[in-house]
Amino acid sequence: MQGILKMTDQIIRDWREKAGKTYFKEELDEREPLVREILELKKQKNALILGHNYMTPDVFHGISDFVGDSLELAKRSRDSQADIILFNGVHFMAETAKILNPTRKVLIADLKAGCSLAESMTGEDVRQLRAKYPGVPIVSYINCTADVKMEVDIICTSANAVKIVESLPSDTVLVVPDGYLAQNIQKQTKKKIIPWPGKCMVHELYTEFDVDMARKSFPKAKIVAHPECKDTVTAKVDFTGSTSQMGKYIRESGAAEVLLMTECSMGDNLRSEFPNVTFISSCQTCPHMKKITLAKVRDALKYEQFEVTLSDETIRRARASLDRMLAVV
Ligand code: 13P
Ligand code: SF4
């Protein structure tokens, strides 16, 4: 008991230090009891908490067992032995966890934490595309519903998109639902990519003008973008990659000044990992990711809500598309 209390105190100290790079002391004081309650519930219920890189620092640090990008978290959820997996991210991510580990109880703290990309396409849209382009393989970005996952041939993420497209034995490939990711893949492959016009409501806001202005204002800064940005934007930046690949780039490049063209919490979370790097804020907020708060996380564990459920048929077919990706990477 003494040991467990000591461990909790150590986690709290670490949480205060890291989240303290973003919040005032009073805000930490107010939230600390919630963090303690979550840590206790997590133990009681044998729950695993996964946190996407876009979680706010109070949710990202301390309570998460693992944090990362969509690909890393998908792998973690597949391998978990916990009774409950609480996914702090958006709904398609929690669905992916359920598909990869269907015997676990998978929870998300707010069912309305959606994604503009996932909402841009239905399973019926995929069936119509298949009828229009018979024999052309369909790759879906992991930011899609389980209904879309069950209809496509293979899934990709921002960390492996080009590799997945290259792995297919076809000169033409349909890439859905992110039109900008499709454009970015097209720049890196000789295959003909047929896109779907879905967009991330956060990353589509960045323009070439923003990059030009950033270069003028901060000539020494490395500019880093997510592949959900337009290809005209990614063409002008120093590095484009998944949320975790951004961290890796900063570590390996030794950059002293970084300007991130991605969701706001990414910079907040990286700031505590790289105290010697100056992060210039050029961020946009994802309203879906921001629906996950400490109070909702506590309630999710306390009341075991909101459970993500899928039919056996959906799980079986969506799993096949995910497994094909996981066999490549
Ligand atoms: P990552 O897989 O790069 O973490 O991206 C997920 C996402 O939703 C970015 O907007
Ligand atoms: Fe979806 Fe964009 Fe939000 Fe990521 S940042 S969850 S792609 S809306």
Q: Check pocket membership of 242 for ligand 1, CB cut-off 6 A.
A: yes
Residue-range definition of the domain harbouring residue 187: 118-199
Ligand 2 centroid, distance to 90 Cα (angstroms): 8
- Residue range 1-24: average pLDDT? 88
Nearest atom (ligand 2) to Cα of 288: 3
Structure confidence by residue, pLDDT tens digits, 259-308: 999 999 999 999 999 999 999 978 899 999 999 999 999 999 999 999 99
111 and 8 in one domain? yes
Give the model's pLDDT for residue 5: 67
How far, in Å, is the centroid of ligand 2 from the Cα of 201? 7
Alpha-carbon span 96 to 288, nearest angstrom: 17
* Residue 54 domain-assigned (yes or no): yes
- What percentage of the chain carries pLDDT values higher than 90? 97
* Domain identity same for 14 and 107: yes
Tally of domains within the chain = 3
Same structural domain for residues 135 and 112? no
Residue 139 lies in a domain: yes
pLDDT of residue 2: 61
Mean pLDDT on 26-54: 98
79-96 pLDDT, tens per residue?
999 999 999 999 999 999
Residue 323: predicted pLDDT: 98
246 plus 141 within the same structural domain: no
How far apart, in Å, are the Cα atoms of 139 and each of 154, 161, 165, 173, 182? 5, 9, 7, 7, 10
- Ligand 1 centroid from CA 160, angstroms: 12
**Same domain? 237 vs 155:** no
pLDDT tens across 134-145, in order? 999 999 999 999
Quick check: CB of 49 below 6 Å from ligand 2?
no
Residue at 327 is within a domain? no
pLDDT at 19 over 90: yes
Q: Which region holds residue 82: left if phi is over 0, alpha if psi is between -120 and 50, else beta?
A: beta
Q: Establish how many alpha carbons lie within 13 A of residue 178's alpha carbon, considering only the half-sphere containing its beta carbon.
A: 33
Phi, psi of 279 (to 5 degrees): -100, 125
Ligand number nearest to the C-alpha of 91: 2
- Dist CA 42 CA 260 (whole Å): 33
- Tokens, residue 39: 């840590």
Banded model confidence at residue 232, pLDDT cuts 50, 70, 90: very high
Residue 324: inside a domain, yes or no? Answer: no
Read off the pLDDT of residues 177-228 as tens digits, 9 standing for 90 and up: 999 999 999 999 999 999 999 999 999 999 999 999 999 999 999 999 999 9
List the CATH number of the domain containing 159: 3.40.50.10800
User: Which ligand is in closest contact with the Cα of 113?
Assistant: 2
pTM of the model: 0.97
Q: Is residue 45 in a domain?
A: yes
Distance 51 CA to ligand 2 centre (A): 14
Q: Which atom of ligand 1 is nearest to the CA of 245?
A: 3
Both 18 and 84 in one domain: the answer is yes
Categorize the per-residue pLDDT at 53 as very low, low, confident or very high, splitting at 50, 70 and 90: very high
Are 253 and 237 in contact by the 8 Å Cβ rule? The answer is no
